[in-house]
Structure 1
Amino acid sequence: MSTYSQIYIQIVFAVKNRQALIATVWEEDLYKYITGIVQNKGQKMLAINGMPDHIHILIGMKPSCCLSDLVREIKKSSNSFIKEQAFTNSKFEWQEGFGAFSYSHSALDNVIAYISNQKEHHRKRSFKEEYVDFLEKFKIDFKQEYLFQWLE
């Protein structure tokens, strides 16, 4: 094989309507399950963490991977897993869409630390502030009305 690549992507997506449904008691099981999906699809999990209403995933991605298909599979399978395990009495669903942000190899340590420190980080900033900051920092054009549905 003569294809060599170095593609690092941070994926961010939220629980539908940003409901705080991911409980601390089962979030680790969810992260392990999602890690299994990523690995079974031939990608490398570098970091995963989140808050009750959203998650961050950092992967090393092969060029043959279709990111939209991977995220669709993560959401569909993890949604089924949450229901099968009866982790929550509420109706669990992931929000439509996701954010995807690319990084150089030299930035990985900082991104991994950022993802690992989600709980601490969100004591100071809301998910909406964080997400809009990502879009602006990466110079991604967006319309407020097409962002996640925010619970105010």
Structure 2
Amino acid sequence: MPQSLSAVYLHLVFSTKDRRPFLSNPEVRHEMHAYLGGISRELHCPPLVAGGVEDHVHLLARHARTITQADWVKELKRSSSLWIKQREPTLGDFAWQTGYGLFSVSPSMLETVEHYIANQEEHHRKLSFQDEFRMMLRKHRIDWDERYVWD
């Protein structure tokens, strides 16, 4: 086959360091989501939706064939961390957590995941980030050790 084609959709979730509410300002949070989407697009991983609340973000994107998952996440975190510190000097101690969750999404579930991400504020009125993340790990049958998930 002369052409290489791929349709791999990924749902990325990561928190601010120690789940600090760095993104409590709705304007800054909205800009962060847009910025993450722009970085992802530049990395040839077109975003479908980005969202989240004051202490974590979600990004659903079609993953490129030309970048590893780890490099994609590393660049998203690196670039957005630099950007927010320039955008908002009061956030000079901003940091993302070291780890992340990355989950595959079937094309048949894209609309459901998009809706889930778009409605994060409503969702988190009832559920903490930690409980949400544990739920996602269980749903995707990922074993974890609580000692190493949170930083």
Q: TM-score range by the shorter chain?
A: over 0.9
Q: Which residue of 2 aligns with 1:54?
A: 56
Q: Which residue of 2 aligns with 1:83?
A: 85
Deviation at 1:108, TM superposition (A): 0.3
Q: Which residue of 2 aligns with 1:16?
A: 17
Q: Which residue of 1 aligns with 2:114?
A: 112
Runs of 4+ in 1 over 4 A off after TM superposition: none
- Structure 1 CA distance, aligned partners of 2:41 and 2:116? 22
Q: What whole-Å deviation, never above 9, does each CA across 1:37-70 have from its counterpart, x for those lacking one?
A: 1111111100100010000000001222211101
Q: Secondary structure at the match of 2:21?
A: coil
The number of residues matched between the two structures is 149
Matched to 2:67, the amino acid is C
TM-score, scaled relative to structure 1? 0.93
Matched, 1:4 2:1: no
Matched to 2:79, the amino acid is S
TM-score, scaled relative to structure 2? 0.94
- Structure 2 CA distance, aligned partners of 1:126 and 1:87? 28
**After the TM superposition, which of the residue ranges 27-36 and 77-86 deviates more from structure 2?**
27-36
Q: Secondary structure at the match of 1:38?
A: helix
Deviation at 1:6, TM superposition (A): 1.4
- Structure 2 CA distance, aligned partners of 1:7 and 1:19? 31
- Structure 2 CA distance, aligned partners of 1:76 and 1:15? 13
Q: Which residue of 2 aligns with 1:133?
A: 135
Q: Which residue of 1 aligns with 2:145?
A: 143
Question: 1:85 and 1:15, CA in 2 relative to 1: closer, same or farther beyond 3 A?
Answer: same
Matched to 1:60, the amino acid is R
Question: 1:89 and 1:76, CA in 2 relative to 1: closer, same or farther beyond 3 A?
Answer: closer
Deviation at 1:89, TM superposition (A): 4.0
Deviation at 1:87, TM superposition (A): 5.4
Identify unmatched segments of 5+ residues in structure 2.
Answer: none
Checking the alignment, whether the CA contact within 8 Å between 1:6 and 1:61 is kept in structure 2 is yes
Identity %: 35
**After the TM superposition, which of the residue ranges 28-37 and 116-125 deviates more from structure 2?**
28-37
